[in-house]
C-alpha cells in the first residue's frame, strides 16, 4: 500500500473511531466525541404511548427508549423503538424541561426518525444534564397524522447500567 493510501486509510479509521457528530434538535451538529471510558453509567428508560401524548390519542402505537448516560463524560447513548404508528415518523426527539403534562423544547433529535429502531449519541451540556437527571425530559414521536406527537413517554434515570 502506498504512503498516500496508508494516510487515507488511517484518516478514515480515525474518523470512525472518533465518531461523526449527530444533529442537535435545532439542526446544528452536536459534538458527540468522548475519549474517556464510561465508568458510572446511569440507565435511562421511557415507555411510549398515545395516552401520554399531548394531546392524548387512542392509537395502537407503542414504543420504548433505552440507553445510558455517563455523568463523567456527559455522553447520552440511546435506542428508541416504535411500532404500529399511523404512518412514518416525521420526528423523534428528546424534549425538556417539562412535566408529564407540559411541553418542552426539543433537546436531542434521533437520526432517521422514519425507521422503526433508531439510535444516537449526544454530548449534553450542564443544563441538559440537570434536567435529564431531575426527570424533566420526555421522548416524543410525531407523524403526519399527529404532528404534535403520536406517542410520548417521560424519561426515567434508573440505576447503574452495564453499557449500551
| Domain assignment of residue 9, yes or no | no
- Give the E-state strand segments of 8-96 in sequence order: 22-23, 29-30, 42-49, 62-70, 75-83, 89-96
Looking up residue 78, the CATH number of its domain turns out to be 2.60.40
Query: Minimal CA–CA distance to 139: which of 71, 87, 98, 93?
Result: 93
Q: Is 58 or 110 the better-scoring residue by pLDDT?
A: 58
Count of structural domains, the chain: 1
pLDDT of residue 38: 43
pLDDT of residue 69: 97
Give the range of the structural domain holding residue 110, as residue numbers without chain letter. Answer: 21-160
For the question of whether the overall pTM of this predicted structure is more than 0.85, the answer is no
| Domain assignment of residue 8, yes or no | no
Q: Is 103 or 47 the better-scoring residue by pLDDT?
A: 47
pLDDT of residue 112: 84
Any idea which of 9-23, 88-102, 140-154 has the lowest mean pLDDT? Answer: 9-23
Amino acid at each position: 500500500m502506498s504512503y498516500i493510501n496508508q494516510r487515507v486509510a488511517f484518516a478514515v479509521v480515525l474518523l470512525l473511531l472518533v465518531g461523526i457528530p449527530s444533529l442537535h434538535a435545532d439542526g446544528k451538529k452536536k459534538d458527540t466525541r468522548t475519549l474517556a471510558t464510561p465508568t458510572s453509567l446511569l440507565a435511562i428508560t421511557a415507555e411510549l404511548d398515545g395516552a401520554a401524548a399531548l394531546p392524548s390519542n387512542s392509537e395502537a402505537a407503542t414504543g420504548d427508549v433505552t440507553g445510558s448516560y455517563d455523568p463523567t463524560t456527559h455522553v447520552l447513548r440511546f435506542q428508541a423503538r416504535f411500532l404500529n404508528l399511523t404512518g412514518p415518523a416525521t420526528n423523534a426527539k428528546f424534549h425538556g424541561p417539562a412535566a408529564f403534562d407540559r411541553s418542552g423544547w426539543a433537546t436531542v433529535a434521533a437520526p432517521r426518525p422514519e425507521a422503526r429502531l433508531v439510535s444516537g449519541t449526544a454530548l449534553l451540556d450542564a443544563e441538559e444534564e440537570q434536567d435529564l437527571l431531575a426527570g424533566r425530559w420526555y421522548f416524543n414521536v410525531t407523524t403526519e397524522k399527529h404532528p404534535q406527537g403520536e406517542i410520548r413517554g417521560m424519561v426515567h434515570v434508573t440505576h447503574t447500567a452495564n453499557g449500551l
